[in-house]
Chain A
Amino acid sequence: MWWNRKTTTAIKDQPASGVPNAPGPARFLDPEVLARIGSLELLARAVVEGFMSGLHRSPFTGFSTEFTEYRQYNPGDDLRYLDWRLLARTDRYFIKKYRADTNTQCHILIDTSASMRYSQAGRISKLQYAKFLAASLAYLLNRQQDAVGIVAFDQHIHTHVPARSRTGHMRTIFGQLSLLEAGGETRLAESLHELAELLTRRGIVVLISDFYDQTDRLQSAFQHLRFRGHDLMAFQVLDKNEIDFDFDDPILLLEDSETNEQMPVLPDVVMGGYRARMREHIDGMRTCAAANRVDYELITTDQPLDHALFSFLSRRVGK
């Protein structure tokens, strides 16, 4: 019905984890609230600590060494893992197997093209949201002793902070994040190809962008990254109005963020067609991501950050 059309016609993309935008600690993860915190370090800490304290019993204890099984010693095995006590008792050679005993390297890629500057009145921009998300993820990973690095790009890579696991490294990351400004054109596929060549060591790649590029071009870029052995996760950050195209004005003069091209538009006339095409694009993105085993998540800038964190952690379980 027309009076609730916004709820029925808007594209739904609720968190897969089922974590609601609940009151309580989650309230502190609201992007609007976080935007008032000047320091990204404080923001990341608030987000992660608040997020963690909101969980009664965290199932995510990190990637610390953990015994899994014994196996027969084979020549060439590292003697460090030989169970000497067992050898003493039984005179037999067994190797103790551990799980995830290596540190993960994670790169957070942030799209800073001009299209990321968009924000509807009163809300934070997509780039701001991306920076909050990147800071929170970096903090979370660092807390788990993983190496974190960031890469920012528009049509080219312009910022690169290599992955480190030191605690002091976070200041570098937060500092670089806070300096990011939106501008330049979107050439996402080319930038991802470039990054695939740059990131030689296998690891986790978290891509934060609005993904305004053709999906077939993105597909080859995803394949490239996957080929390099990266575990890829894509956060598509959009403003809610980019999905709904809900304007009160009878007529608008729309200006393209990147090309400055202007176009007069009757919102009520265009709305239906626009929504269909945006839905097609998002569906295409989701299909493309699934085809390349990329974890895909659509996030709007009015959603709390814990949604993204939950999504991230839940997808890391078992990997």
Chain B
Amino acid sequence: MWFLSPLFWLGIAAVAAPILVHLVRRTRARKVEFPALTFVRQVPQRTIRRRTLRNLLLLILRCLAILLIVIAFTRPFFSRRSAAKDSGSAGATVVLIDSSLSMRREQMFAAAVQRAGTIIDEARNDERLALIGFGKRYEVISRFTADKARLHATLKSLAVSWEGTDYEQALRGAESLFGELKTAGPRRIVLISDFQASGWNQAKATFKLSSDIQLQTFDVGGNNPAANVAVTRVDAHGLVFGQKYLENLSVQVGNFGDTPRDRLAIDFQINDQTVEKREVSLNASETKVVEFTGFNLTEGANRCVVEVGSGDFPADNKFYFTIRRDAPAKALIVESASRGRSDSFYLQSALSLNDALPFSFTVKSAGGVDPSGVAENSLVILNDAGPLSGALSESLKKFVEAGGQLIVSAGPHTDANSFNEPLRTILPVSLGDAVQTKPGEGLALTNIKFDHPIFEIFRESGRLAAARVFGYLRSDAKSNANVLARFEDGSPALVEANAGKGRVLLFTSSLGPSWNDLALTPLYLPFVHQMIRYAGSREEGSWYGLGQTFRVAKESKGDPPAVDSPDGVRLTENRLTPDGDLLITGRQPGFYRLRYPQHPDFAAVDLDAAEGDFTKLDFGAFMTGVTGGSGNVEGREANRQFSNEEIENRQKVWWPLLFLALLLLITESLLAQRIKLAKVVG
């Protein structure tokens, strides 16, 4: 047994107090001459003996209670430290130092580095140590060496990062590092961290340490989870085509603490100018969404920041994102040359209702389209276009293969043969005969892939099944095609396929009222808009997570732009894609400046939201998980080491000791009271 505060053993002198009182009172027995001793003698002596025993029991109880209290104050614990430390070969140790974002709290990182320094100092001279710093990923900052001076020097170079925490990765790294060793001996991993719950996912944990490796942990995070409020997520469109942002920009604000927070200020800034301010109150462990809309955006990239006015841990109070305002691309709608109302009337009406669509549309008949001008568009919609000329078909093929988007919808004027052969290489299906249902009967859409971007907005309502289809082109999906929806008879309804660099989306029924009543239902508008957005493929993320790699497109000249980190340092990374784009990994929260000569751009990088939750790890589950024990905690304990404070903190032997002392004192009190009562009653 070991003691954290052995100085309290001095308190053992207090045990002498009841003994002294007992002895003093014994010696003070007064001698009294008494004539009727014969009657006293007749009183059963066992009563006196019992009383004497009771008094002795009282003395023992008092002494024991004081002894237990003293022992409790010395904070005892049972150590299972391996004898290997004091005997045998020195072995090797990997010191894992948590350098994640949460270690920026108070002086935690400094304490971790100091602890690592102490471990280096206390290591045997022939013991080899390696140092690893870790967050989401790990970095070996020093491989195995017994040179303490070198280890200290390396340790000084370790800096705290902005990353989240992943204990599993760190332990994997440490274990793999042992593979470099060619000598046998005890192997030990020392894990110094604040032990955040978010750093280890028990449900997904698969890694287990080798049984010959001892794990020693040092918790520098304290016991109380710190209060923290953070902006955890922003949902915004990274690319818009109008001056006003018309949709809802939602901001998630989370309170990770155990106490409610009232009237927190939310400040929304665009290009360093405050656009709007809000206030939000959060209960303990509550997350709320604050929405902003209707704000103006300038042309090009806009740097947006949402900041919550919370006094605690400021690192995660800001959330960075960008919104780019671009001019819409050109799109061409090709229809059949028919008299009367244009067959694209419903389609045009639907597209004209949304300014936020990434295209400006031009409608032409199939005969009126200049094949050479097709390439100027980004999107072409063949809306029941009728027979296509060979030149147009050829230009459409080239258009798609070069990266253009093509949407094809069938209809009464669609000639399957004029599509199948000329566009064979790009169409996802081979079209067949037209199918007409009986009057009054219609087919519904089934087998809809609601996880597809086009249909995901219909996931909750499921109302797409309400539309009735009366006619369509029979079709057979090709092997590379993705059937997104079918009719009730199993025939493909909406099919997509990539072709070259482009993509083709084919709806085997009409986008007008010819073959279905879709255009007459409220489903039509969102369905068409989703298809256009999907085909537009210009949706951009508004921010990147820390550690995420993003692409910086090359300039028109062919070279990628220079990139500055949020703290203004020019990056020297030169990882390029085959197309010559630059790949940058975000290592710092804030805006990365992409120095295009004509139009400077920005990429926003944000922290891992889970890192703001300082809830403590379930230590027992963690140990069980990483050591692969069979659930027998005691059995696993033998395989690893903890600091004395941790062992004592986990065992909490002082608790039962104090409880036992309390019980003894209560028993003593009851016994004493009983004796006193017996005296009174006589």
Which A residues lie at the B interface, using CB under 8 A? 2, 5, 9, 114-118, 210, 212, 242, 245, 247, 249-259, 261-266, 268-275, 277-278, 281
Contact = CB atoms under 8 A, between A and B. Distances in A.
Given A242-B36, A258-B35, 17 more contacts: A5-B680, A115-B36, A116-B35, A117-B33, A118-B33, A212-B36, A251-B25, A251-B26, A254-B40, A255-B33, A256-B35, A257-B34, A264-B29, A266-B48, A273-B42, A274-B43, A277-B43
A114 B33 CA distance: 10
B32 interface: yes
Given A253-B29, A266-B52, A269-B47, A210 B35 contact: yes
Given A2-B681, A268-B678, A274 B33 contact: no
B344 to A, nearest CB: 108
Interface in B654-682: 675, 678-682
Interface string B241-267: 000000000000000000000000000
A115 B680 contact: no
Interface size class of B (residues with CB under 8 A): 20 to 34
Interface string B3-18: 0000000000000000
Counting from the closest, the 4 A-B pairs by CB-CB distance are A268-B679, A115-B35, A273-B43, A2-B680
B32 to A, nearest CB: 5
Nearest to A260: B33
Nearest to A256: B37
26 contacts: A2-B680, A212-B36, A242-B34, A250-B25, A252-B32, A253-B31, A254-B37, A254-B40, A255-B31, A255-B32, A255-B34, A256-B38, A257-B34, A257-B37, A258-B35, A259-B37, A261-B37, A263-B37, A265-B40, A265-B48, A266-B48, A266-B52, A268-B675, A271-B679, A273-B42, A277-B43
A252 B30 contact: yes
* Interface-central residue, A5, A247, A251, by most chain B CB under 10 Å: A251
A264 to B, nearest CB: 6
B33 A249 contact: no
Contacts of B675: 268
Contacts of B33: 117-118, 254-257
A114 to B, nearest CB: 8
B44 interface: yes
Contacts of A256: 33-35, 37-38
B51 A266 contact: yes
Nearest to A246: B682
Nearest to A259: B37
Given A251-B25, A253-B29, A269 B48 contact: yes
A250 B24 CA distance: 12
A21 to B, nearest CB: 25
A110 to B, nearest CB: 16
A242 B678 contact: no
A274 B39 contact: yes
A105 to B, nearest CB: 32
Interface in B476-496: none
A14 B51 CA distance: 35
Contacts of A271: 679, 682
B41 interface: yes
A242 B682 contact: no
Contacts of B679: 268-269, 271
Given A251-B26, A252-B30, A269-B678, A277 B35 contact: no
A253 B52 CA distance: 14
A265 B679 CA distance: 13
A269 B35 contact: no
Given A251-B26, A278-B36, A9 B682 contact: yes
Contacts of A210: 35
Binding site secondary structure of chain B: helix
Given A250-B25, A255-B32, A257-B33, A272 B39 contact: no
A255 to B, nearest CB: 5
Contacts of A270: 40, 43, 47-48
Contact of A249 (B30, B39, B43, B680): B30
Nearest to A248: B30
Nearest to B54: A269
A264 B25 CA distance: 13
A278 B39 contact: yes
Contacts of A9: 682
* Interface-central residue, A5, A249, A252, A269, by most chain B CB under 10 Å: A269
A252 B35 contact: no
B258 to A, nearest CB: 52
Nearest to A3: B680
Interface in B19-77: 25-26, 29-44, 47-48, 51-52
B29 A252 contact: yes
Contact of B40 (A5, A115, A274): A274
A165 to B, nearest CB: 35
A256 B44 CA distance: 18
A175 B36 CA distance: 30
Contacts of B48: 265-266, 269-270
* Interface-central residue, B31, B38, B40, by most chain A CB under 10 Å: B40
B20 to A, nearest CB: 16
Contacts of B681: 2, 5, 272
B513 to A, nearest CB: 104
Nearest to A239: B35
B491 to A, nearest CB: 102
A212 B36 CA distance: 8
A242 to B, nearest CB: 5
A256 B681 CA distance: 26
Contacts of B51: 266, 269
Contacts of A265: 40, 48
Nearest to A253: B31
A258 to B, nearest CB: 7
Contact of A5 (B38, B52, B682): B682
A260 to B, nearest CB: 9
Nearest to B25: A250
A152 B52 CA distance: 43
Nearest to A255: B33
Contacts of B35: 114-118, 210, 212, 242, 256-258
Contacts of A242: 34-36
Contacts of B29: 249, 251-253, 264
A33 to B, nearest CB: 25
* Interface-central residue, B29, B35, B43, B44, by most chain A CB under 10 Å: B35
B36 to A, nearest CB: 5
Interface string B66-106: 00000000000000000000000000000000000000000
Contact of A272 (B25, B31, B38, B682): B682
Contacts of B31: 252-255, 262
A276 to B, nearest CB: 9
A262 B33 CA distance: 9
Contacts of A254: 31-34, 37, 40
Contacts of A252: 29-32
A13 B664 CA distance: 46
A253 B27 CA distance: 11
A281 B36 CA distance: 11
Contact of A118 (B25, B34, B41): B34
Contacts of A247: 32
Nearest to B26: A251
Contacts of A261: 37
Interface string B544-578: 00000000000000000000000000000000000
Contacts of A255: 31-34, 37
A300 B675 CA distance: 30
Contacts of A245: 40
A210 B43 CA distance: 20
* Interface-central residue, A258, A274, A281, by most chain B CB under 10 Å: A274
A273 B51 CA distance: 14
